[in-house]
Structure 1
């Protein structure tokens, strides 16, 4: 089995459609419940609306990963402007549901970088891994799910020259 990183970024104006399709999206995801490592929506800075949908899933091969990403309800309906599908070499044991260091006043973030592989050690890292091409060992960057007081502090946890930070929250059901 291989872990895959799937991040669909919402198309402008797709919020209402996404809201209507959420039960169907969850039903699709329920078929993968045992394979999900992390999931949840990215959010606007104020947390009032979604901007995307993140999943890290353990699947047998690239074909299964493509099916997961492109047969999914939101993708099929045109909710996403784009979908990033890569392999992820996860350096964190367990799943997001195993994270035990939550701080009530902190927020959660998805942090994406294009930096080289690097070990990240912090009790506030929920998950960290290297993003790799689907069919080669080409390193594309890193993805981190972190908890921090601010987006700037989340970027600092990544220890990267440039970090693309998105408010994020645990999603779905387990």
Structure 2
């Protein structure tokens, strides 16, 4: 219950900065919700610890030789996870990362490495997990850094560019 309250408080505080697929009003509507002081102190403590880290992401070349040192979480869709993922990674889709059933799968005594398609949602997940007390890092550039080549929409979904990565193996389900 405490973790859910922390997450809800985090989402209230940072909701306007997150990109979501919905229509936004021209001017943000201020929140009328107030975070209770006892919850805010917990969030503030974990936020300060997270922000005090000199870095929040790890490069593929740093991670690859020592994969067994990390608990790896792929937050992409189940279909993309099954088409290929980092060996020993588990799939917890982004929209379920803070669910009790998802958190129950995560260790509290091992470094968690989170990756997605490009690193954006992995960074959000990493911040959420750190606010909940986990030791989590983002795989910088995520799946793009792991694969040989990934096509990415630069200005739009119709304008694709090749992004070259390290060419480490992905394994299918």
**Structure with the largest fraction of helix:** 2
**Structure with the largest fraction of strand:** 1
Same structural fold, with TM-score higher than 0.5 when normalized by the shorter chain: no
Q: TM-score, normalised by structure 1?
A: 0.26
Larger Rg: 2
Q: TM-score, normalised by structure 2?
A: 0.26
